[in-house]
Amino acid sequence: MTETTETETTEKKQPINLSTLRPAAGSRPDAVRLGMGEGSGTGQTATKGQKGQRARSGDGKLVGFEGGQTPLVRRIPKRGFRNTAFQDKAQIIHLSDLERVFKNQNEVTIEALKLHGLIQGQHPVKVLGDGELSRPLTVHAHAFSKSALAKIQKAGGKAETIAQKVAKVKATARATARATAKAKAKAK
């Protein structure tokens, strides 16, 4: 039979919270302090060896550096194309969101959607037909799916399409493409 000492029983009774958590005994050894004199065993060169780039302060080579040899990332061929700068990005709104948020209103505008936190920024808004409408709503958006259009009209509402500011969207895409190209040029 094992006897429990007084300290063990008091430790077991302590509630566990952030202030009482401790690592298991011996699981976290003290850090070895380098360069603290010859008597410490890690003095003089402080475990860095003799001379050379790795022994100097501030030694840190970039990820992918291969000692002056052309790095792998530059040796392999580059393939493919990403259209992220020019793709059409639309903010998606579902009919279930409109039903939930606009209970006491008859008209849904872009400003109202921003006010309720359903959309943000300047990207166009597209309404999708996920969910149902129980009452008529006049919805203003840049685009509607066929199912959303049918459900809005079935509930007795109207779907009004807003003209997109194409020039602004294209200018934004051009600016994004320029920024991406500059970032790539700096990286090389």
The CATH number that applies at residue 99 is 3.100.10.10
Residue 160 lies in a domain: yes
163: domain range? 91-167
- Residue 24: inside a domain: no
CA distance 136 to 154: 9
Q: Which of 102, 134, 137 is nearest to 118 (CA)?
A: 102
d(CA 168, CA 175): 11
Q: Is 2 left (phi over 0), alpha (psi -120 to 50) or beta?
A: beta
C-alpha to C-alpha distance for 166 and 122, rounded to whole angstroms: 12
Q: Is residue 15 part of a domain?
A: no
Q: What is the DSSP string of 63-86?
A: TT--TTSPPHHHHSPP-----TTT
In a domain, 33, yes or no: no
The whole-number pLDDT of residue 179 equals 83
CB 119 within 8 A of CB 127: no
- Which 3 state secondary structure label does DSSP give 166? helix
Q: Is 46 left (phi over 0), alpha (psi -120 to 50) or beta?
A: left
Q: pTM of the predicted model, to two decimals? A: 0.50
> How many domains in the chain?
1
In a domain, 150, yes or no: yes
CA gap 133, 48 in Å, rounded: 71
Alpha-carbon torsion 113, 119, 125, 131, what sign?
negative
In a domain, 19, yes or no: no
Residue 144 lies in a domain: yes
Tens digit of pLDDT at every position of the chain (188 positions):
555 555 555 556 778 899 889 999 999 999 988 888 888 888 888 888 888 888 888 877 888 888 889 999 999 999 998 888 888 889 999 999 999 999 999 999 999 999 999 999 889 999 999 999 999 999 999 999 999 999 999 999 999 999 876 555 566 777 788 888 888 888 77
pLDDT at 2: 56
